Chain A
Amino acid sequence: MLKIHQLHKSYPIGDSSLHVLKGIDLNVEDGEMVAIMGSSGSGKSTLLNIIGMLDEADSGDYILDGLPIKNLTEKKAAVYRNKFLGFIFQSFNLINYKNALENVALPLYYQGMKRKERQEKALFHLGKVGLTDWAKHLPKELSGGQKQRVAIARALAANPKLLLADEPTGALDSATSHEIMAFIQQLNDEGKTILMVTHEEDIANMCKRIVRLKDGVIMEDEKVNQVRAQEHV
């Protein structure tokens, strides 16, 4: 699914620069579910954003689904993001003046899908996260867990190959976290490749593989026995 080789990224800080990623090598196969862990500031989000084409690496190779991602125009990047990737953010990032259904339908809008088809599809995905009855509600009328479920539905709407989640459970209590993880595991079961950043060991253990970052390099990369979230709900 994705191949990363000797990826470097630094941020300019005043006159000097902060070297955040110092040569990352990472291969992820189709259908994997990978947790990226590491202390705060270790560069987890930076790595995920580069994978998501929201940011660019300074050097190194990144091949997504056979496509070399380098020097993309913003337009191309937008099209790839729309086609290949789904994002789930810690802070949900729903558009606050659009209701749940409209939020889920948004990626489809940018795919150029017809309104009716879009709404049907969005409703289907809302149904999958159990929020059919909440379709017409604005984000402010939803709980944190519901918001994240809307966000998951939105990430899935465009049927992406790779789901990127930056601390999807970071803003949720543990019960709700497990509920969200159950959904994500189910997606993985259905074949979606998932990369998620997390701080929590128990969440990481619900993935199939844990990659640990330290000082800008991968310190540890291990397969784990997946803990089913369903058992905790």
Chain B
Amino acid sequence: MFRFLFDRDTWQEVFDSFSKNKLRSILTMVGVWWGILLLIGLLGSARGLENSFNRLFGSFATNSVFVWGQSTSKPFMGFQEGRQVKLSLSDAKKVEENVEGIEFLVPRNQNQATVVRNFLSGSFGINGDYPLLDQVQKKNLIHGRFINQNDIDDNKKVVVISEDAYKQLFEKDEMPIGEYIEINNINFMVIGMFENGNVNMGPTSDMHIPFTTFQQIYNQGDRIGWMMITGKPEYDIKQIEEDAKLLLKNLNKIHPKDSRAFGSFNLGKEFAKITGFLTGMQFLTWFVGIATLIAGVFAIGNILLITVKERTKEIGVRRALGATPFEIKRQIVVEAVFLTIVAGIFGIITGGWILIGLDAAFGQGDDAAIVNASVSISVVFIALVILVILGTLIGLIPAFKATSVKPIEALREE
């Protein structure tokens, strides 16, 4: 059945009729080429945007919510409105124990402090943190390590600093690990240095010290600044947020309908919005690309129709010499598919070049708008399969046209 595809003569015929109608064939292919180019270019750019977005947020567990205390807006159980709400470690513990679907819960504290080293100084955000933070908001450590359980247990005076803080406090090429810096006049040993992330969620975090040390030096007691909650993947982070808040209201004697007592930032929700936007963009891309592709394939069909009309006499001669209608149709369909695929492959190649160009223009550096703009092999494969199917279908029209007349009518044509 498909042996003819491996027959040199089939391709000789295709090549002959191509070289006979060079300009027309090339013009024809432009449509399909453009469609594929558009599809690959747009899909690749969309992917690039998505990648850059993922890189931006990649260090965060995206199904996370931050919760902090504000002030009440409703009187409740004898309390006046306007009461300051402070979260505590026991609140955090209860939330972690009672709210369903929590993967991690990280209580955090923060303060602004002046930090001095030799003659250099600066004002930095100091965070009191547990080792767990590293799970939720991955720190890219350049040197050293993050806070560990030992540091927590022994209230160690150690600090993990950001690259930015390092630049302000250290000489170029100086090794920070093991050096001491003064935070609020207390000496801390630097144990790690991390790369500044692209996005800072919440207050600026220039330095991290053990949670317990923070408690001690700031007389923090049981109080915490805010908590970061990460949901298990199969749970809805919005539900977790609601449950946690309700429990916290209960624990702190706050009216259940008080919407201002706790502030929160639901990363999962924001992330979903952007993901939705990206999905929409991809959908649009497919739509535009395929529509263009179909238009291109129709252009091929149209040209083939004209070609077949012009070749009516030739087709008549071939039939007089014994070509069956099937053989004639097959040849025309093969030509259609061949033109479509060649145009498609050119489109894929030039689309690839465009993505390489985009990468060179916008894809370099840490804050690149487009990261690794690319399309997957499966997309290319799907596009090719669609091309073959469309090419075949569109080739059938001129093919049937070519054999719809009696041979004698074809021969009589001038």
Contacts and interface: CB of A to CB of B under 8 A. Distances in A.
Given A54-B407, A54-B408, A97-B20, A79 B314 contact: no
A93 B313 contact: yes
A98 B16 contact: yes
Contacts of A56: 406
Contacts of A83: 322
B322 A82 contact: yes
A54 B317 CA distance: 10
Nearest to A87: B320
Interface string A73-91: 0110011011100010100
A88 to B, nearest CB: 10
Contact of B322 (A49, A55, A81): A81
B282 interface: no
B323 interface: yes
B326 interface: yes
Contact of B324 (A52, A78, A95, A97): A78
A115 B8 contact: yes
B317 A75 contact: no
B317 A110 contact: no
A125 interface: no
A83 B9 CA distance: 20
Nearest to A50: B408
Given A95-B317, A97-B20, A110 B322 contact: yes
B321 A110 contact: yes
B408 A49 contact: yes
B319 interface: yes
B327 interface: yes
A79 B326 CA distance: 12
B372 interface: no
Contacts of B17: 97
Interface string B3-31: 00000110000001101100000000000
B285 interface: no
A174 interface: no
Contacts of B408: 49, 54-55
Contacts of B72: none
A55 B406 CA distance: 7
A117 to B, nearest CB: 12
What band does the interface of chain A fall in when counting residues whose beta carbon is under 8 Å from B?
20 to 34
Contacts of A158: 321-322
A111 B321 CA distance: 10
Interface of B is mostly: helix
B16 A109 contact: no
B403 interface: yes
B132 interface: no
Contacts of A110: 318, 321-324, 327
A78 B16 contact: no
Nearest to A97: B20
Given A54-B411, A106-B318, A79 B324 contact: yes
B321 A106 contact: yes
A107 interface: yes
Interface residues of B, number: 24
Contacts of B16: 97-98
B400 to A, nearest CB: 12
B325 interface: yes
Contacts of B326: 75
A52 B406 CA distance: 12
Interface string B385-414: 000000000000000000100111001000
A154 B321 contact: yes
Interface string A88-106: 0100010101100000001
A111 B323 CA distance: 8
Interface in B317-341: 317-327
Contacts of A75: 324-326
Nearest to B407: A54
B125 to A, nearest CB: 78
Nearest to B21: A97
B323 A78 contact: yes
A50 B324 CA distance: 18
Contact of B325 (A78, A87, A107, A154): A78
Interface string A178-217: 0000000000000000000000000000000000000000
Contacts of B325: 74-75, 78
Interface in B290-324: 313-314, 317-324
Contacts of B323: 78, 110
Contacts of A107: 321-322
Contact of A79 (B8, B19, B322, B403): B322
Contacts of B313: 93
Given A74-B403, A78-B325, A95-B314, A115 B9 contact: yes
Interface of B: 8-9, 16-17, 19-20, 313-314, 317-327, 403, 406-408, 411
11 contacts: A54-B320, A54-B408, A55-B407, A74-B325, A81-B319, A81-B322, A89-B411, A93-B317, A95-B317, A107-B322, A110-B324
The 9 residue pairs across chains A and B that have the minimum distance between CB atoms: A82-B322, A54-B408, A78-B324, A110-B322, A55-B408, A107-B321, A97-B20, A54-B407, A93-B317
Given A54-B411, A75-B324, A110-B327, 13 more contacts: A54-B320, A54-B408, A74-B324, A75-B325, A78-B319, A79-B322, A81-B322, A83-B322, A87-B320, A89-B411, A93-B313, A97-B17, A110-B323
